[in-house]
Amino acid sequence: MQKSPAHPLLKFLVMSTTFFLVGTIHGVLQVIHPIRVWLDSIGSPYGGPGHMIDPLAHAHINMVGGVVLMVMAASYYLFPVLAGRPLYSHRLVQHTFWWTSLGVVGFYTTLMVFGVWEGLLYLENPDSVAEAHRYYPPVIAVVSTVMGVGFWCYFANIFLSVRTLYKNG
Ligand code: HEM
């Protein structure tokens, strides 16, 4: 018997669950005493390298990766049910998933790599952090934009779908 292809929104659910898995493990690790002491010694949660790990990386993998991806899937599923009309674009559904997911992976990895790297440098010699931090602004700007494109594809698809309701009456 031929297997039916997976529903296009299923991957949102799987990726959201995966991000929650990473985010909750991150959450538990950051309260384990030796790790907590290390994070506090590099500025978490107020600033410095520690701030990138806790709360920034932790907040975004859970809030954007976990919650927002699930909300995007739920609203893409609910729109046709509530409006009795199809979504404006299924291509934008794909773009929403890939830009948002790759953006979350890039944003989280950038914050964790620079957080740990600069944290180790800070404890060795605080003056050496600035040299490493020179690379952070362009990298975080690129991955933030990728994540932002995912949001903007979603907003465009929802608003254009709503517009079809009024355009075709
Ligand atoms: C393209 C999307 C997004 C980008 C590029 C982004 C970027 C950032 C940046 C750069 C900060 C740190 C500001 C600082 O240095 O203190 C921040 C803070 C924060 N963001 Fe986002 N963000 C995005 C979406 C979201 C969303 C959708 C949520 C929640 C649903 C969220 C929750 C938070 C929280 C809770 C903080 C504060 C963390 C803290 O300092 O306690 N972000 N975000």
Residue pLDDT tens, the chain, 169 long: 677 788 999 999 999 999 999 999 999 999 999 999 999 999 999 999 999 999 999 999 999 999 999 999 999 999 999 999 999 999 999 999 999 999 999 999 999 999 999 999 999 999 999 999 999 999 999 999 999 999 999 999 999 999 998 876 5
Residue located nearest, by CA, to atom 17 of ligand 1: 56
Residue spans of the domains in the chain: they are: 10-167
Residue that the structure tokens 């933030």 belong to: 144
3-state SS assignment for residue 63: helix
Q: What integer pLDDT is reported at residue 5 of this predicted model?
A: 81
12 Cβ neighbours under 8 A, 6+ residues apart: 69, 70, 72, 73, 76, 97
**CA-only gyration radius of the chain, Å:** 20
48 conformational bin, left if phi > 0, alpha if psi -120 to 50, beta if neither:
left
CB atoms closer than 10 angstroms to residue 118 = 25
Closest CA to 169 of 95, 89, 83: 83
> How many residues comprise the chain?
169
Instruction: Please report the pLDDT score of residue 168 as a whole number.
Output: 60
Instruction: Output the ligand 1 site: residues, CB below 6 A.
Output: 55-56, 59-60, 63-64, 67-68, 144, 147-148, 151
Report the sign of the C-alpha dihedral through residues 23, 27, 28, 32, in that order.
Answer: positive
| Prediction pTM value | 0.92
Q: Residue whose CA is closest, atom 27 of ligand 1?
A: 64
Q: Which atom of ligand 1 lies closest to the CA of 148?
A: 1
Closest ligand 1 atom to 150 CA: 1
